Structure 1
Amino acid sequence: MRLDKFLCTTLGITRREAAKVLKDKRIEVNGEITKSIALKITDDCDVEFDGRPLRFEGPRYYMLNKPQGFVCSHVDDHNPTVFVLLDIVSPEKMHVAGRLDGDTTGLVLLTDDGQWSHRITSPRHVCEKVYYVELADPLPEETIAHFAEGVQLRGEKELTRPAKLEILGEREALITISEGKYHQVKRMFAAVGNKVVALHREKIGSVELDEELEPGEYRQLTAEEIAAFMP
């Protein structure tokens, strides 16, 4: 992470204010005064502001607009991971709370708080997720009732939980599910003889993807958004 961004995060100041703090020689990194806004800060760096150590306090929470082609893991032999998009200290300590497939885009939540993410991903906690879907074939109205009753997925013993389907156009819809089976949305439409050609997650629980975030961009969650998944 660049030093100016590190200062913005730890001091709660703007980038302009961070540049002034550096210009006034109030920042030391590893015992030396620096004015370089682009200096790379890692876990091994000791950063001080007016002689006071600066470090991240408490867990971190972010939303990311995941682009197509990125995977939600730390290591992949064939595709870039979402963690390379994060300009933060120690991205390797973060994890995804509810993964998306490589070709699925949209809302991803990232944190280093395991208990918080457990409330999103655990089957014990019902957490609805909303997806925008584009389909290969026209979508008949009766699919709404079919999904509401639960769908028998290939290889599964039990029906899916009831899902809400809102048809937006001949080949596009919003689907709300409350579980996270492997490739669930794609398999649900396959079970009714259709094929998903594009999938985009818009919402997890009450947290919606920020419309101002371009693919690959991220921001910290607000206190209200974090609390939405607290007991």
Structure 2
Amino acid sequence: MRLDKFICDCTGLTRSQAGKLIRQALVLIDGQPCKQPATQLKPEQQVELDGEVLALTGPRYFVMHKPTGYVCSTDDPDHNTVFVLMDEPRLDKLHTVGRLDLDTTGLLLITDDGQWSHKISSPKHECAKTYRAWLADPVDDSAIRLFAEGVMLRGEKHPTKAAQLEIVSPHECLLTIHEGRYHQVKRMFAAIGNKVEKLHREKIGDFVLDANSLAEGEYRVLTEAEVAAFVG
């Protein structure tokens, strides 16, 4: 890896900023100043910047209890993004695993590991996602069968994959889907003549959001076991 790229990845500096520091002899390789940004580093070499040893951190994995009013993107001209809720270096390297709508709350995974997020969000892996939905009108028991068989969404060519619906009360349901189409939960209920008034994601795979330990707007690092369980 080039020296300037290594410094960028470790610190979040731009390539030009890293190059300037290198040319000013502020960067040491194995204790010796190096002024060439394009220097190729060997794995065993130690790099110091202003007396601090630099090291690449491994992939990062977080779980957030997303509040309403935030979008799942890195930049939005009209709304705050979920990343303003995080105090982490190199936020620009992170991305959300799938997206929750502006007004949807609940379980949100965030990482800089593209392969890990793809295994969770890709439809071919059919990772289950469970939502709690509050509806405008009472839900009839017939919806359980309709969702299990798959429903046609407006503008789509193929019905949804089989989904599991549990009616908690006339206006409250738990819906588990195995794909992630645009606004899918809201569109599924619209397809049977109902409207979602409030939506909250509670579960992805076997991981359940614990609202008692993670309040809206809070996040934490996932444990190694939790990370492995999502793709295991």
CA shift digits 1:163-206 (9 cap, x unpaired)? 00000011001000000000000000000000000000001111
Partner of 1:229, secondary structure, is: helix
Whole-Å separation in 2 of the counterparts to 1:142 and 1:230: 34
Shift of 1:54: 5.7
Q: C-alpha offsets along residues 49-90 of structure 1, whole Å, 9 cap, x if unaligned?
A: xx7626452100000000001000011111100011110011
Q: Name the structure 1 match of 2:137.
A: 137
Deviations, residues 136-179 of structure 1 (Å, cap 9, x unaligned): 00111111111011011111111100100000011001000000
1:89-139 per-residue CA deviation (whole Å, 9 max, x = no partner) reads 111100001111111000000000000001011122110000000000011
Contact 1:47 1:55 in 2 (8 A): no
- Quote the residue 1:193 is aligned against: 193
Alpha-carbon distance in structure 2 between the residues aligned to 1:85 and 1:225: 22
Q: 1:135 to 1:115 in 2, by over 3 A?
A: same
TM-score, normalised via structure 1 length: 0.76
Q: Identify if the C-alpha distance between structure 1 residues 47 and 71 changes in structure 2 by more than 3 Å, giving closer, same or farther.
A: farther
- Give secondary structure in 2 for the equivalent of 1:124: helix
Let me know the Cα RMSD of the aligned residues.
Answer: 1.9
2-side partners of 1:194 and 1:56: how far apart? Answer: 50
Matches within 5 A, 1:20-169: 53=53, 55=55, 57-169=57-169
Match of 2:44 in 1: none
How far off is 1:223 after superposition? Answer: 1.2
- Looking at structure 2, the residues matched to 55 and 176 of structure 1 have their Cα atoms a distance apart, in angstroms, of 41
Q: Percent identity?
A: 57
Amino acid aligned to 2:219? Y
| Amino acid corresponding to residue 176 of structure 1 in structure 2 | T
Instruction: Go from structure 1 to structure 2 and tell me whether the alpha carbon gap of 1:52 and 1:70 turns closer, same or farther (over 3 Å shift).
Output: same
CA distance in 1, matches of 2:80, 2:167: 33
Q: Give 1:209 deviation, angstroms.
A: 1.1
Cα distance in 2 for partners of 1:55, 1:220 equals 19
Secondary structure, aligned partner of 2:124 = coil
User: Which AA in structure 1 matches 2:143?
Assistant: T
Asked if the contact 1:105–1:199 (Cα under 8 Å) also holds between the matched residues in 2, the reply is yes
Would you say how many aligned residue pairs link Structure 1 and Structure 2?
186
The yes-or-no answer on 1:171 pairing with 2:171 is: yes
Secondary structure of the residue that 2:115 maps to in structure 1?
helix
- In structure 1, C-alpha distance between the alignment counterparts of 2:219 and 2:74, rounded to whole Å: 17
What is the CA–CA distance in structure 2 between the aligned matches of 1:140 and 1:64, rounded to whole Å? 33
Match of 1:181, SS state, is coil
Match of residue 20 from structure 1: none
Secondary structure at 2:166's aligned position in 1?
Answer: strand
Structure 1 regions of 5+ residues with no counterpart?
A: 1-29, 32-45
Equivalent AA in structure 1 for residue 198 of structure 2: A
Question: Distance between the aligned counterparts of 2:49 and 2:117, measured in 1?
Answer: 30
Q: CA deviation at 1:210?
A: 2.6
Question: Partner amino acid for 2:87?
Answer: D
Q: Distance in 1 between matches of 2:87 and 2:67?
A: 16
Structure with greater Cα Rg: 2
Are the equivalent residues in 2 in contact too, given 1:131–1:201 (CA < 8 A)? yes
Moved more, 213-222 or 54-63: 54-63
For the pair 1:218 / 2:219, whether they are aligned, the reply is: yes
